[in-house]
Amino acid sequence: MAYSDLQTFLKALDQAGQLSRVTCEVDPVLEIAEIADRVCKSPAAGNAPPPAFDAIHGRRGGRGLLFERVRGSGIPCAINVYGSYERMRMALGCDSFESMADRVQSLIKPDIPTNLLDKIRKLPELAKIAGFGPKVVKRGICQEVVHTDDASLFDLPIIQCWPLDGQPGQMGKSADSPAAGRYITFAGIYTKDRDTGERNVGMYRVQVFEPRMTAMHWHMHHDGPRHHRKYQARGEKMPLAIVLGGDSVLPYAATCPLPPDVSELLFAGFLNDTGIELVPCKTIPMEVPANAEIVIEGLVEPKETITEGPFGDHTGFYSVPDRYPVFRVTAITHRRNPVYPTTIVGMPPQEDYCLGKCTERIFLPLLRIIVPDIIDYSLPMFGAFHNCVFVKIAKHYPYHARKVMSSIWGAGQMMFTKMIVVVDEDVNVHDEQDVLFHLCANVDWRRDTVIVDGPVDILDHAAPFEGAGSKIGIDATRKIPGEGIVRPYPPKMEMSAEVKALVTRRWGEYGMAMKGLD
């Protein structure tokens, strides 16, 4: 089972040797980010042999960091808490991502009862699924301290990640405020559909301008702005809560590419094996996790916008400044002696890479429901999530790989994928060299590539238009008749199984051990 709140999780990390406490004073402007960036890119903590997954995908991420003295604030700051595969497994309360993927598989494709006895046996399981939903309670630790008229974002240890963050003048646009480019980066953003009451939890960056005013950065494809558009149409302010901390599964659930009709809070309850407890906010009609560290309540203006950005993003480049809605704070509540969680993004690997790789594994069953041809897939680090995907299939007919490409581009947020490389089932998609070897060996560029126009990531600065550009699919499978001009493919070199077994059996006789060849 996962952890009920951030501080319990931090204690568990400390006991497991996965947390470093920094007791000297540090500056929230750039210094914390530089420390975290170096730690993110260092070897992972722990001396035990890494699990198979970690060995394949790279064992990195150092330790989580807890800065106990942050200049200008009396609140400690935690970062890189989810920045290794081991810490991600602890946060989700699982032994492996594969076991969690099996649970997702059972949730999205349950066995169908065939008779009355089977239906009766299924009732406890169905009741358990229903129990994953959030539960509203009267009180929670997130409201032990309440600030309304005296609420100030400047009391929080909000960090500036990169030198040009929040400096639009450096990128040719005028600024609305001379405030430093400090951003809330690791919060759940809670909104509700005005008409249906449907909840959404996203994770969007929030630039702070004044003690009680921020910009709310979100992309047009997401549910938060979809909710906002309904309020805009009526000229109404939209209630919104910025939630920091809480149950250890919540930050992960907020980043998941769930289907539109699946609630992040329901999924968090599923990961947690019990429903997330919520409490009503003090000043807005919204419910938030009872065990959160800090909650910022407020209203998003229907028409008022402000120039937000630039911001050093997960692409490794600054995203350009643009106009985004203004959010005004109505209250800040928190537990006694809270901890402020944050993160940085930038040139990978960063903390978000571990979150993304976890999603890659856990959501493989869901992707297979949408595109059943897929055996496995990998989002390589150099692709920064949306730029590249390697896909393994068992090829059965001409242009099978192209059918898979089209399916992926039609699968939710996979539509943003800038490059798809499809390979045969004997290729290891988690080994970039293996994929590139078969790409170079099997591809004729005129015959085996397809370029299409469509939606791309808003952060893709190479696209000719914001959010719209071209994408490429590369068929790196062996070609078969019906796929254009195809000459006979030569067989792939491989030693016979008998000789391999012979050499393995006699290896000790060859005297290789002294030379380090065993």
* 313 tagged catalytic: yes
Across the strands, what pairs with 279? 288
Contact 453, 439 (CB under 8 A): no
- Sheet with 287-289, strands from edge to edge, namely 135-136, 277-280, 287-289
Polymer length in residues for the chain: 518
Both tokens of residue 206? 């929030």
Alpha helix (H) residue ranges in 363-471: 364-370, 400-409, 432-442, 445-448
Give CA–CA dist 245/45, Å, rounded.
23
Give CA–CA dist 128/275, Å, rounded.
10
Name which of 202, 183, 299 is nearest 243 in CA terms.
202
Give CA–CA dist 417/409, Å, rounded.
7
Both tokens of residue 199? 């909840």
Name which of 66, 62, 20 is nearest 349 in CA terms.
62
Locus of tokens 């999780």: 9
Give CA–CA dist 255/343, Å, rounded.
13
Name which of 286, 269, 288, 271 is nearest 133 in CA terms.
269
Contact 482, 475 (CB under 8 A): no
Q: Which amino acid is residue 138, in one-letter code?
A: K
Cis peptide bond N-terminal to 259, omega within 30: no
Name which of 49, 44, 94 is nearest 64 in CA terms.
44
Give CA–CA dist 434/436, Å, rounded.
6
Catalytic residue from among 313, 373, 448, 457: 313
Number of H helices, E strands in the chain: 15, 23
Q: Which amino acid is residue 247, in one-letter code?
A: D
Write the CB contacts of 160 (distance below 8 Å, at least 6 apart in sequence).
Answer: 28, 29, 30, 33, 166, 180, 181, 182, 183
Question: E strands, 357-413, where?
Answer: 374-378, 389-393
Three-state DSSP class for 153?
Answer: helix
Across the strands, what pairs with 189? 202, 242
Both tokens of residue 513? 């051990």
Q: What residues act catalytically?
A: 313
